Amino acid sequence: SIPAGVRRGAFIVFEGVDRCGKSTQSKRLVDHLNSHGVDAELWRFPDRQTAIGKMINSYLTSQSEIDDAGVHLLFSANRWEKRDAMLRKLQAGTTLVVDRYSHSGVAFTAAKKVPGLDLDWCKAPEFGLPAPDLVFFLQLSVEAAAARGGYGEERYEKEAFQEEVLRQFLSLRDPTWQVIDASASIEDIESKVQTHATEAISHAAAAQVHAIGG
For the chain, how big is the Rg over CA atoms in Å? 17
> How many CA atoms does the CB half-sphere of 156 hold within 13 Å?
23
| Binding string, residues 137-166; x marks residues near ligand FDM by CB under 6 A | -------------------x----------
CB atoms within 10 A of CB 213: 12
Query: Could you write out the three-class secondary structure of 199-213?
Result: HHHHHHCCCCCCECC
- The piece of 24-32, 101-109, 170-178, 197-205 that touches ligand FDM (CB under 6 A) is 101-109
Q: Does 105 bind ligand FDM (CB under 6 A)?
A: yes
Binding residues for ligand FDM, rule CB under 6 A, total: 9
Q: Which is nearer to ligand FDM, 75 or 137 (CB)?
A: 75
Q: Which is nearer to ligand FDM, 104 or 139 (CB)?
A: 104
- The piece of 26-34, 89-97, 98-106, 191-199 that touches ligand FDM (CB under 6 A) is 98-106
Q: Does 60 bind ligand FDM (CB under 6 A)?
A: yes
**Three-state secondary structure call for residue 195:** helix
Min CB(161)–ligand FDM separation in Å: 9
Q: Does 14 bind ligand FDM (CB under 6 A)?
A: no
DSSP run (H or E) holding 99: strand 95-99
- Phi, psi dihedral angles at 208 (to 5 degrees): -70, 155
Among 26, 104, 168, 178, binds ligand FDM (CB under 6 A): 104
Q: Does 75 bind ligand FDM (CB under 6 A)?
A: yes
- Phi, psi dihedral angles at 52 (to 5 degrees): -65, -40
**Three-state secondary structure call for residue 103:** helix
Q: Does 46 bind ligand FDM (CB under 6 A)?
A: yes
- Phi, psi dihedral angles at 185 (to 5 degrees): -70, 155
DSSP string, 58-78: HHHTTSS---HHHHHHHHHHH
Q: Does 53 bind ligand FDM (CB under 6 A)?
A: no
Where does this chain bind ligand FDM (CB under 6 A)?
45-46, 60, 75, 100, 104-105, 108, 156
